[in-house]
Amino acid sequence: MTFSYRALIGFLFFLMICIAGTSTTAAGPSKPLLIYTIDVEGGQATLFVTPAGESLLVDTGWDGHDGRDADRIIAAARDAGLSKINYVFLTHFHQDHIGGIPQLAAKFPIGTFIDHGPNRETDDAGTVKRWKLYQELLATGKYKHIVAKPGDILPVHGAQFTVVVGDGKLLEKPLPGAGQTNSNCQKAKQPPEDHSENEFSQGFAMKFGKFRALDLGDIPFVEEVALTCPVNKIGKIDFFIATHHGLFYSNSLALVHGVAPRVALMENGAKKGGSPAAWDIIKSSPGLEALYQLHWSEEGGAAHNSPAEFLANPDGPDAGNYFKITAHEDGSFDVLNSRTGKTKSYPAK
């Protein structure tokens, strides 16, 4: 009798654990994906951390400045609890995107570098110099190296990063669910052509559950239009990192209104990016709920800057504040302004 009583208690205990386990799985929220848009003063450094614990850093900011940009990236990585950055995705080889590589690599472990292939701007001494430093780092054999091309899905676990543009080439087939005719392809005033490394920028669309983000590096207007006209190969986006720091060379009406982001964010500096023409296009995009800026844009002035709550670094002394986006599989997301400590929520639709 004693044995069966114990067996019964044991069985009931087991049952309770099963029920508790089931209810936790059913009711508990799944882990979010994090995006840090790090202030590198008009360059780019954007850190994605997936729920699988893998990280992908888009670009490394500038060199010089006593390692300022590397330090800001490392601070974000530590905030996310990282001890290593798994992937560094280089959009292109300009100083404001790859300058910070040696300083970052000297201070923080990196797994794999992803780029678009060789430097295509071989007549610019500054670009060549920084590309060579990057090649020297790869030659140490300490890092894995991937040359990506449009259509590739990056080997990151926990979210799907699909390369949509790179080395002057575009995604051939629309992303799943995309490919609708874009009604925003009417002729707009074309900015000057740009055949620098910007033209060879690689960029991706990222999918995490129902949440979608887009980062196209510094691709010029012409490529944005080619990606979204006459059919929009990207589809709709929740979170758009404004192309090329929010400069008017990019951020075409066709792209921005075509992907119709809920929230856009300019990685601009006080004196670089945030052009009024680009700001107007983004601000008037259908369905836009907010336009965030890493900095107050001097070029934008009072008429073309977002209200203070959407600015990480308002006019005045620079503190290197950042935004942290917490995205959920149901499509909802929160944006934290590190300056104010306040979070704004964008519920699932």
Residues that bind Zn ion (CB under 5 A): 96, 218
| Nearer to Zn ion among residue 218 and residue 238 (C-beta) | 218
| Nearer to Zn ion among residue 96 and residue 167 (C-beta) | 96
Determine the 3-state secondary structure of 186 from DSSP: coil
Tell me how far, at minimum, the Cβ of 25 lies from Zn ion, in Å.
44
| Nearer to Zn ion among residue 63 and residue 96 (C-beta) | 96
Q: How far apart are CA 48 and CA 33, in angstroms?
A: 7
Tell me how far, at minimum, the Cβ of 43 lies from Zn ion, in Å.
6
| Nearer to Zn ion among residue 201 and residue 228 (C-beta) | 201
| Nearer to Zn ion among residue 99 and residue 300 (C-beta) | 99
The CA–CA distances, whole Å, from 44 to 115, 265, 268 equal 15, 12, 8
Per-residue H/E/C for 292-339 = EEEECCCCCCHHHCCCHHHEEECCCCCCCCCEEEEECCCCCEEEEECC
| Nearer to Zn ion among residue 62 and residue 322 (C-beta) | 62
Tell me how far, at minimum, the Cβ of 127 lies from Zn ion, in Å.
11
**227 — phi, psi (to 5°)?**
-75, -25
Tell me how far, at minimum, the Cβ of 270 lies from Zn ion, in Å.
15
Tell me how far, at minimum, the Cβ of 92 lies from Zn ion, in Å.
8
Determine the 3-state secondary structure of 290 from DSSP: strand
| Nearer to Zn ion among residue 41 and residue 71 (C-beta) | 41
| Nearer to Zn ion among residue 32 and residue 246 (C-beta) | 246
Determine the 3-state secondary structure of 147 from DSSP: strand
**69 — phi, psi (to 5°)?**
-70, -40
Instruction: Identify the CA nearest to 278 among candidates 324, 231, 204, 220.
Output: 220
Please say whether the beta carbons of 98 and 197 come within 8 A: no
The CA–CA distances, whole Å, from 188 to 109, 225, 318 equal 45, 10, 36
Tell me how far, at minimum, the Cβ of 144 lies from Zn ion, in Å.
25
Tell me how far, at minimum, the Cβ of 113 lies from Zn ion, in Å.
18
Tell me how far, at minimum, the Cβ of 81 lies from Zn ion, in Å.
29
**46 — phi, psi (to 5°)?**
-130, 120
Q: Which helix (H) or strand (E) holds 130?
A: helix 125-139
